[in-house]
Structure 1
Amino acid sequence: MSGGASNDADIQIGMFDAACDLLGVGAYIYDKNDCLVVASRQVAQFLPISPEVLTPGTRLRDVLGAIFDAGIRYGVPAHQRRSINREEWIAERILIHWREQHDSVECLGKDRWVHFRKRRLPNGYSISTLMDVSDQTRQEAKWRADLKRVALTEVVLDTLPHPLIIKDRNLVYAAVNKAFCDVYGMESKAILGRTVWDIADAANAARLEEIDRRVLETGVPSRIEERLVRVDGSHLYAVTRKYRIGAPDNYMVVTMIDDVTEIVEAAENIAAGGFSLRPSIQFVKAENCFDPVRDAERRLLQQWQADEDFAGRRLLVATPSERTGELLVDALRGRGADCCAVRSRVEFEAFVAMAKSCGVALDFVVLDDTMEGYEAIAAAGLPVRMFTSDRVGAEVFRALVDPVELVAEPQPDAAVPPPPFDDWHITTDIDAVAAADHGDFEVLVAEDNQINQFVFSQILEGMGVSHRIAENGEEAVALWRKHQPRLVLMDIAMPIKNGLEATVEIRAAEAELGTRTPIVAVTAQALNVDRQNCLDVGMDDYITKPVSPDMIESIYARFVSRSRDRSVA
């Protein structure tokens, strides 16, 4: 009898799992005592908990505790997930569990959305299902964003003071703004879906259609100076431009009419005389839009004053920073040099070997002293001119004009250790770093994204805090060794060496030095499991992007200001 019952139960569970597979859901059932009756195998795909927890008889409280311990905090706003108490979360979930019905869509992980549905039956049993709705949620989000974008576009078009028209590939009006409607005294619904033949006389309609079709077929923009007549009879002097936009199978023609009536004088014969600027018009010098990061790089490279002729000389730039290499190669090529860049000692050795095999001689190597293994490159037997990449600018090109002789330094007396942070040396021996020393800046920011670099710089400069930027984890470790900052803001996802690896290397060095620099993780991830990874490698705190001035000021006050106060006391 018991064997038959077991077989029936197995069959029912198998049918239960098959039904869940067919519906694409995970499901579990609790009895009236909140003990698990059965959970389909699909539940493990939604909740990363041990299979032993999902065995029949497990209490609801224990299942919820395992979910919480796995880092899942569904039902709680993202900004509160790190501070929610375990017992409070479990109690709230149990309260919801006893409702007659409950539906919610929750975010599990970075980009996964799950639809939770719960139903309480009259006999006290509870059935819960989980369905992955990530694709549907993303589509809905995109649909809502598209609607907002369309609404915003309509507002922008209608706010523009100049008429604008869009025609489809059949040259039918697809969109017009309010300024165009005002010129002809018509409403948009009377224009859309019609052609120019419906709103203009035959001669002008033929002329405009010919221009539109030529732009549509060739893609070559058109520019026309013309005089229009508004509905009130006044003249509108305009420069009309036409462009082709869209994909090949769905080209459109955009017409922009710039009203220049107030600033020009027009000849009676527009086609012959065109427009001329009124004598009373004076243009005021203004500023163009610019990229502040690129502008800073340009200004740095303009600071150097070098008269040496690099024309025809073969130079090799050795720097771990891709951006620094690009800047120097472009500048040196602009001076006539035959120049390229390598980013590691391995690349340098391979390049030199290839050049030697081809009979190509290098005039000198422009060497970044933050490159790992730069001593071996300097001792390779080639002329070397060194620079420090965190001060790219006048110093670089002074070094190019005034070569640095690499001679053996006399060994200092053991009782007086050499200063570890001079401008032309990177310490690789951690025993030479004094525990109490700090460099010439307070905060080191490890961030590879240029926009985020600019944000950090603006915030820290506004606070009056000295800082340096590292573009990858390897560069961050090198700058930390050289300058010993008071605080490191470490991005997690970086090239060459990520933030976790860089932190491990710094902490290993500090273990021998007896020092500790506060390191704060900066990442776009928001799950508690990511925070735990950061803390496990020795980071002191964790902040998420986008960063704000309040966030950075709080971190600075906590790790730098207080430590300075203690040292002063």
Structure 2
Amino acid sequence: MFPGNARQARTATMNDVASSDANIRLGMFEAACDILAAAVIVYDKNDCLVFASRQVLRYFPIPPDTLKPGTRLRDVLGAIFDSGVRYGIPLEQRHKAVNREEWISTRISAHWREQYDAVERLGRDRWIHFRKRRLPSGYNVTTLVDVSEQKKQEEQWRVDLERIALTEAILESLPSPVVIKDRNLTYIAVNKAFCTIYDTSADSIIGRSIWTLADAESAERIESSDRAVLETGEPYTLAEHVIRADGSNLYAITRKYRIGAPGHYALVTLMEDVTAFVTGERTVTDTDDAVLRVPGGFVEAQNCFDPVRDAERRLLLDQLNPEELRVVAGKRILVVTPNPHIEDILVAEFKARGGDCCAVSSVREYDAFLTLAARQGLAIDLVVIDDNMSGHEIIQANSRGIATRLISPDGIGPDFMRALVEEHELLSQDGSPLGDILTPVSLSDDWYIATDISTMLPAAVGDIEVLVAEDNQINQFVFSQILEGMGISHRIAENGEEAVMLWRKHQPRLVLMDISMPVMNGIDAAMEIREAEKLTGTRTPIVAVTAQALNVDMQNCMDAGMDDYITKPVSPDMIEAIYQRYAAGKPEKNVA
């Protein structure tokens, strides 16, 4: 073989190898595009087609010959336009006629950007994600990925969010209290009308269960009916009597329904307020001619307002003139306090009573407010001033002829409960049996324990653990909430005479005795119990409960034979401390 022929043979062989290798790489590239479900187009620096994967034809209905190497970018775009595809046009302009050359020029302009990244809509329900990159060599690599399903999901999420927002707005505006729980009976939605009953916020309810909001007995009853509705799908109806946070009565027809699909059920509770039509325990009257009978009457329902907030509210209102509170409707009241919590309580209370109320937090704001009110011809009827505010004396001295009331809300706020606990811890360190009486912090109805743990006496054997003598219905409820939450059996007596009768019948381990009660006061009731014990040979611990904290009261309690002394308002921790001292151990007979 001649040398020249040998060289030609080697060259031909090398070209064949290179061609085979390139075909293998091209096949692998096509396979990768198929696996990734992506279309890839490569143009050279002269905007001529170098490579187009098979996936491109899934996006653009153009002739396959258009995608041969060497085809100009302008010709490819022209074929796409002629196929009827118009991507890259804003939605608001799609109904207008589009000029072919203008569209092609716009697409070429985007093609020559160093980077281009956009989601374009093809047709009514198809979206394509375009990515273009211009390499330093001048080559352009374009990828196309179908993101239609993702966009549909995003669109569905948007529609769902709008529907949820609309549903929440409707729910919030309904005049009837509405509660929604999930299949685990966790609160997932409550409306404003429900929160108003208990003077609370949705945030303090949502995410919790009834067991953290009500006493054990009420929680068991409510959950039982909830589960029955969820399991059977049968609606539930009950006539209920609820005590609102302000102490007023609410008579409601409560209805429960199951909604949703299997596995995703939810429980809707609707309370229809019929208070205005209640004329008796068992009768709801609309007119003289129309009478609706309520079998069994109204049962006592969940009363889960916050006792601490209620104590704060009462402490503030007790410092105001009762007559002014009764005629507050239609009046303009200005609250002056630097404490947002006090502002929230007082403004809400005055508005609930029909007053027009707002608040300022400093002397400067007070002066500016009155100046503006005078300019607008608005008269202020009452100014309520927090004596903790710096400069409150200036406001009182320059009241401008407006009636003013000074309040002393020391301790109210986030540390209110902590102040009660710290006071208890301080006083229970006293070593004497009944302790020296220390004046509580400036909270007038703060309460504390003032005995030594060594003076505990075992209680008599009986069929209940605690007897509570209390005439105030709100305080009765608070005691019941606390004791039921602790799982302690108890009875409530409304006066001293009934307390003695229930003591004789049940022989409780512990008596919590209110001092001021009708028919027979707590002092006389305690003395009668001690006299009776001389015959029975037993001794029941009696703890006095009162709103006062005076030495003379303690002495009277000691003389009547009481063992301990607490002042209102009560809390779970404090009641548990008393119970642990006097009734938690095994009850035994004790000779007086």
Provide TM-score, normalisation by structure 2.
Answer: 0.44
Structure showing greater Rg: 2
